Amino acid sequence: MSKVIVLTGATRGLGRALVPVFAAGGHTVIGCGRSEKQLAELWAAFPAPHSFAAIDVTNPEAVQRWADRTVAAFGPPDLLINNAAVMNSLAPLWEIETDEFDALIDVNVKGVFHVLKAFIPAMVSRGRGVIVNLSSGWGRSTAPEVAPYCASKYAIEGLTQALAQELPNGMAAIPLNPGIIDTDMLRQAFAEGASAYPKASDWAKRAGPFLLGLGAKDNGRSLTVG
């Protein structure tokens, strides 16, 4: 059955890699990102019924307007994927600038909250839908020089598991570790070492069916794409 899929961070990395997989399966993708150029490329490659918007997830009013338009046009999402995230500059925690820490938390944690707050009411009213918040291996373990990122992904794990306890039967909230993938974000941390890991396009071929197979039985489970 065709699904309506809302996907943040659709213009790059894992999000961008998922769009063609979902579209090829006959699903409708409602994506957002911040790059007008990359959004135009998405529109050209995946025209209506798909829809892509320039949205800054740190702006709650803009997110709410996007959610209202989306629900009015497509109904509540069957699958809501919070993928948008940023990485900090590699440095000991005490050398991280306050503005950089704030910006990371604004996207990785508060941005997820804004999207959830905007979309969940319609999903709850309908009584079904799956919410996937992308976590990380660094949301379940730690490493030096990525403390802000670790903090944000640990927050996603806790937020999602608590949310899972609040949802009505028939819905699910899942923190998902995508695994280690060669993306621009990973290259910030691993540099050329990132090339030893799978490309996002290869990952998406496995992750797309995995995500589409999630359901109420998975509510509250911390999962990893195998």
Active site amino acids: 149
- Which tokens hold the place of 106? 């604004």
Its sign, for the CA torsion 138, 108, 28, 214, is: positive
The CA distance from 205 to 18, in Å, is: 8
Query: Token digits for 226?
Result: 């195998």
- Asked if residue 53 lies in contact with residue 32, where contact means CB atoms within 8 angstroms, the answer is yes
In the three-class reduction of DSSP (H, G, I as helix; E, B as strand; rest coil), residue 4 is classed as strand
Question: Cis omega before residue 148 (within 30°)?
Answer: no
Phi-psi region of 14 (alpha: psi -120 to 50; beta: other; left: phi over 0): alpha
Q: Rounded to whole angstroms, how far apart are CA atoms 54 and 177?
A: 26
29 within 8 A of 46, measured Cβ to Cβ: yes
Residue with tokens 């709650």: 60
User: What phi and psi values does residue 110 have, to the nearest 5 degrees?
Assistant: -65, -35
Q: Within 10 Å of residue 161's Cβ, how many Cβ atoms? A: 17
